Structure 1
Amino acid sequence: MSEGTVFLRTLTLNCWGVPFVTRDRRIRFKYIAEELSKGEYDVVALQEVIHSSDYELICKHLAQSHPFQHYFHSGVRSGVCIFSNCPIIDSATFHYSINSSPYRVHQLDWYARKLLGLVKIQHQGIVINIFATHVCAIHTPSHLVDPLFSHRLAQCYEISNIVRQVGSSADVNILLGDLNSEPFSLPKKVLMANAGLKDVWDERPNSDDGSGETCERDCNYYTQLNKRVYEKFQDGMRIDYIMYNGCHSYKVQCTDARLVMRKIPGSALSPSDHEALSATLEIQHCKDTEPPGLSDDLLSLLEDLEDEFVSAYSAVQQKRLVSAGLATCLALLLAVLQLTSITDLICAKSLICAILVIGFFICIWDICVQRVFEASAFCSLIENVRIRMLYIKNDKHG
């Protein structure tokens, strides 16, 4: 029996504010700020708001419409922030145990220190957990092997565990952000099944409103200007999501989901290289609401997850061996160079020695620190998955 209905309007957008990479940044952020200041959405989650000036611009424009604002500071800049017209009563930050590599300087994921941010809001008497994230990016075309797939998979699994374990502290849970995972991918499936979340695009009643691709759409001004990741998908790919579930006696359903803010008026420019996704959620307090059960395919998904993590762990150990071999070769070259006497090329010799020493210490750091951290993360994840699988099996037989 229903005891009242509340609506929550949400929006997520990857704003494409990466330094030295983005185009037309000031024009685009000005439009984004002005559009959001109209107050059409109760909660807004933004990603890739890297420049402090961009965040300050948005804060200034949204001071009246969304007076409650939170930026999740992490690394050089996380880029993840939330704006709300409802009071924020609590917040938390969860860092992922594994997140790309410092060697991938051009990709910035490690330096941004990717995270899952949480703010708890009160909306018309209902306590809602708002989770926002930007998962490790895809930089490899989909038809090639993605070296960071296991990292992205780990992050999505950790999101699902956090939402599942923290979710009961509120009446409703909503996850917004750029998951960099296709709708058919294992990371997205595991996240939804393990956390008991629903995807607004799958649940929306306006199902005739396109396929929902949020990245590399032909109609986006920047698609043809940037290197495409999804070359096999001419219509682009859906990698930005809004997901939800209800707790206790609250039932949540999506009444509308669509792509918005498609073009900057009077210009050929798009607000970002991603499309903005909006969704309206209907929240009802029902006495007879039952908590969602475990997904039927969760066990098989966790088995696939375990296999991926075991393979990733083995790959990390192989990389340690490669680094050990390379360090040995560099040490031998350095020793040979020191034993030679080339007095007329002393400058060249010093330069080569410096390069060899730097390379040697990078290899040692890789062996003793970077790969150890990575291997430990995968070990922990494997154990976590096995505990979860054991519980599910016992629950089924119980």
Structure 2
Amino acid sequence: MSNNKTEPVKPASMSSLHVLTLNCWGLKYISKYRKERMAEIGRELARHDPPLDIVGLQECWTYSDYQEISTTIRDVLPYSKFYHSGIFGGGLAIFSRWPIRDSTMHRYTLNGRPTAFFRGDWYVGKGVACAKIQPPDGSPIEVFNTHLHAPYEREPNDSYICHRTAQAWEIAKLMRAATDRGSLVLGLGDFNMIPLSFAHVLIEDRGAVRDVWRFMTPGSSIGASIDPPEQERRRKLGEKEVPDVQESIHYHGHTCDTVVNTWRWSKEDRKALEKGRDREIGLGDPDSHAKRLDYIFFNGFDSGWAVHEASVTMTGRHPTLRCTLSDHLAVRAVLKRTEIAPQPEETLTASRPLRSTRSRASTEVIAMDTESLEKALSKNPTKVEVGTEFYEQILKMVEAYKLRERKQRRWRLSHFVVASVVSIGSFVAIWWSPRNFVSFILLIVSTFGIMAGTIDGLIGGLFMGSELRALAEFEWEVRNAWELSGGPEHKQIPLKDWWD
């Protein structure tokens, strides 16, 4: 934890909070122009106007990058913490204008599989970077910075949806506990979820927080315009099929896969950019793949706080490389203490950085109430509230994943047993081998066979055993929450039933 004695540029004040979150794409050896981009990210944060109070970064994997950024912004954000986790690190960092009084790295109990080494989620030890920040006046602020498990298939067929939902449940519990302690809560990060998905609804409901962007624009998108739920929403609300850049960035808050981001361009366009041939992107250009994966959650709406502004920022280019600073765009929120919270649409109009191309009638349709919005949404996987059907679908998700992992566990343990028998048989056969080359082949088969079998045995016996127990805990919590909300009474399932 870095707690330099340098004083902030402006005196601290709890009358407002300027918060920013960014997935900065800092994978060592993989992310192109990493050092140059990370250095420029630090400069962008340092010269942000008005100055920032709290920043959460994701995919800041290397400590040297963190050090460079913290040195660059120490006059504005003198207090910071780099979080260590897993084999390669969690990639999380928090920067603050005020001292960090307490810090914890909470690792998710369900977080990918070691066999998916090419994806890396399990190896980086994803979790929640927790920091308790104490301004000189006002309530303490508890920051929860995270990066949920990445989706590799589209919901609801994503094989990791159970992991991501369980992670959302965990961070929601952390934020709810902080609220119960009387703290202001900020949830920052790349949540790898679309608005109103399982994870999104869980975080808002169980975490007692609100997504500041949806608070400002309750009728904004629920995914990319190529996704069926968003297509249905746009059709039923009378919107055009594909949003333009203006609408995508400034109304829907899209931070990922937008055409504005050079790292989302085709390979040919990126190569042309490196050779100095740029591609002009206009505000009226279509932005069909853009979606919102980065969020700021807040709990202060019932205690005299309001969202004054929510915007997508850091959309500019590196001054010399001409590439976007990350493969995600940043989200910034200005939260202000006020007696009467402004209406979302009025606040949006006042704070929107560019003039909207929407008509007033269209804006009124978008700002429909929750009941009308629900009728315009696909029932699966998109939801707008936690209810009986919601809990039932989570339990079905858990059951489906449990059956999958039990089958995988049996297969891997069986592989270990078979590999052991083959290995012993190969060693015995060497005694009667007629030639040396046959003995050599039997030795190779035995060695590599038992190596692969042992790895599968360890994964099936240790990792999957731990995973199924964590899944059992998650299922109990869901069933208990369902019962407390008026659902059926539940009994603890004997652990032996999880293995049979």
- Shorter-chain-normalised TM-score: which range? 0.7 to 0.9
**Which residue of the partner structure matches residue 141 of structure 2?**
128
Alignment of 1:213-252 (within 5 A): 213-224=254-265, 234-246=288-300, 250-252=303-305
1:251-271 deviation line (CA, Å, top 9, x unaligned): 332121111111225343011
Tell me if structure 2 keeps the 8 A contact 1:11–1:44: yes
**Which residue of the partner structure matches residue 25 of structure 2?**
16
1:317-368 deviation line (CA, Å, top 9, x unaligned): 1111221332343234334433432533233332221110111111211221
The total of aligned residue pairs comes to 376
One-letter amino acid matched to 1:44 = V
Alpha-carbon deviation of 1:296?
A: 5.6
Identify if the C-alpha distance between structure 1 residues 260 and 234 changes in structure 2 by more than 3 Å, giving closer, same or farther. Answer: same
CA distance in 1, matches of 2:303, 2:334: 16
**Which residue of the partner structure matches residue 291 of structure 1?**
none
SS in 2 for 1:59: helix
Is 1:307 equivalent to 2:316 in the alignment?
no
**Which residue of the partner structure matches residue 178 of structure 1?**
190
Identify if the C-alpha distance between structure 1 residues 357 and 19 changes in structure 2 by more than 3 Å, giving closer, same or farther. Answer: same
**Which residue of the partner structure matches residue 158 of structure 2?**
146
Identify if the C-alpha distance between structure 1 residues 197 and 49 changes in structure 2 by more than 3 Å, giving closer, same or farther. Answer: same
Structure 1 stretches of 5 or more lacking a match? 227-232, 287-294
Alpha-carbon deviation of 1:309?
A: 1.5
**Which residue of the partner structure matches residue 99 of structure 2?**
87
Identify if the C-alpha distance between structure 1 residues 319 and 255 changes in structure 2 by more than 3 Å, giving closer, same or farther. Answer: same
Tell me if structure 2 keeps the 8 A contact 1:205–1:256: no
Alpha-carbon deviation of 1:283?
A: 2.8
Tell me if structure 2 keeps the 8 A contact 1:132–1:177: yes
Identify which of 67, 72, 84 aligns with 2:78. 67
One-letter amino acid matched to 1:150 = C
Alpha-carbon deviation of 1:93?
A: 2.5
CA distance in 2, matches of 1:373, 1:44: 34
Alpha-carbon deviation of 1:374?
A: 0.7
**Which residue of the partner structure matches residue 67 of structure 2?**
56
Calculate the TM-score normalised by the size of structure 1: 0.87
One-letter amino acid matched to 2:140 = V
**Which residue of the partner structure matches residue 290 of structure 1?**
none
Alpha-carbon deviation of 1:234?
A: 3.0
Is 1:329 equivalent to 2:418 in the alignment?
yes
CA distance in 2, matches of 1:334, 1:5: 68
Calculate the TM-score normalised by the size of structure 2: 0.70
Alpha-carbon deviation of 1:193?
A: 1.4
**Which residue of the partner structure matches residue 278 of structure 1?**
332
Identify which of 377, 391, 395 aligns with 2:484. 391
Larger Rg: 2
Identify if the C-alpha distance between structure 1 residues 50 and 225 changes in structure 2 by more than 3 Å, giving closer, same or farther. Answer: farther
More strand by share: 1
CA distance in 1, matches of 2:289, 2:253: 10
Identify which of 256, 273, 296 aligns with 2:309. 256
Identify if the C-alpha distance between structure 1 residues 107 and 9 changes in structure 2 by more than 3 Å, giving closer, same or farther. Answer: same
Identify which of 445, 451, 458 aligns with 1:365. 458
Identify which of 335, 343, 354 aligns with 2:435. 343
Tell me if structure 2 keeps the 8 A contact 1:28–1:272: yes
**Which residue of the partner structure matches residue 193 of structure 1?**
205
User: What percent identity do the matched residue pairs reach?
Assistant: 25
Structure 2 stretches of 5 or more lacking a match? 1-12, 221-246, 268-286, 341-383, 488-500
SS in 2 for 1:94: strand
SS in 2 for 1:191: helix
CA distance in 1, matches of 2:96, 2:14: 20
Identify if the C-alpha distance between structure 1 residues 225 and 354 changes in structure 2 by more than 3 Å, giving closer, same or farther. Answer: farther
Tell me if structure 2 keeps the 8 A contact 1:222–1:273: yes
One-letter amino acid matched to 1:149 = I
